[in-house]
Amino acid sequence: MTRDETRSADYLIDWRSWRGPKQFGWHELSAPRWWPRGERARFPLLFVTALAVKTRFALFPPTPDVTEDDVDEAELEALLDEMLGTLPMELAPAGQRAGAVRVGFSVDPDADLTPAQRLVAERGVRVRADHWSDGFALHPVDVLAWQPSFGGFSTVDGLVGRGFDAYARILHPIEKRDGDITRLRWSALPDARLDEPGWRPDRRPDGSIDFDFESERGVELVEGVIPEPERRVIHQLLRDDLRRRADASRIVQGIWAGIGGLGVEGATQCRIDQPEREIVPFTGAFDEIVLVDDWHTVSIVYPESGAWCLANDTDLVSTYLAADASLAQRFLDDPRLECLVVGPENQVG
């Protein structure tokens, strides 16, 4: 073993080939007069080295590798709920896995941590239903083969594109927080005006927004992010539609460059031409509708075959689908979703 090879092996000492300090490049150091010379030198040096290594691991024990079996899922869920701030996304060159959205170091790594805390502190975890994913394979798109032809800003076709057979609006449930979180459908509101395509629970009859709606009623409108239960259902319906069509075209998931802390605008020069929004296209296996952070899912998702388009926006309390009539009807008929029929020219909300 050469000196360089020995160094690369973290200075593991082979008792049979020990040649003294010169083996490690330590010959520049002057040994005291009382230090043994020649063959006898190796035994005290080995003793001192072993003592130093043992002391180091006694004072600074190595971090145990945390596995899925070590972690209490309920504790991990609670820990994730306490995380604050926008979560950074790590980007990688095209063709490589871009790291999942990860929770930062919110606990002291040197503290006496539970396995769940150590997992968050040292490895980071994906904020998603499956915390054990290695991360979604998502990389920037340099050239788009197809993208929707968009209408005007703040309209349905300005969000999901023109020329589709049918359009549907998927309503995000209202969350009522009173100890536990209760999810309410819009149709349960006594003053619901679901016949108005752009209506939302905090919109007054004159069209203005009541900014005290949430605080006065003790509820929270879910803006900019598709709630997890609905996100799973939507992904299942869209994935099943692709399988039914045998559609193997590339799936594009666009991320709004205005999300703080992400810095996706430099990932590629390519853009999705949604009006008044800088949407950066990414692609990868369609394993999920990607959750970017606690407040945003991806802004737009579509196959480059043009079969359908799904989109939302940062201040919208609903998500929109443009598709053929059969897929739109499956969304409208699914009891797990609250959906409405809308037109391409309708205002979004």
**285 pLDDT higher than 90:** no
> What's the pLDDT score for residue 33?
55
pLDDT digit string, tens, across residues 222-262: 999 999 999 999 999 999 999 999 999 999 999 998 886 66
Q: Helix and strand tally (H, E) in the chain? A: 8, 13
What are the residue ranges spanned by the domains of the chain? 3-59, 66-130, 156-342
Which residues are 254's β-sheet partners?
281, 300
* Helices 325-333 + 228-245 axis angle, to 10: 150
DSSP state of 78: H
Contact at 8 Å (CB) between 236 and 288? no
Residue, of 28 and 276, whose pLDDT is higher: 276
Q: Most distant CA pair in the chain: distance in Å?
A: 96
* Confidence tier at 78 by pLDDT (50, 70, 90): low
- Give the pTM: 0.64
DSSP state of 235: H
* Confidence tier at 92 by pLDDT (50, 70, 90): very low
The 3-state DSSP class for residue 251 equals strand
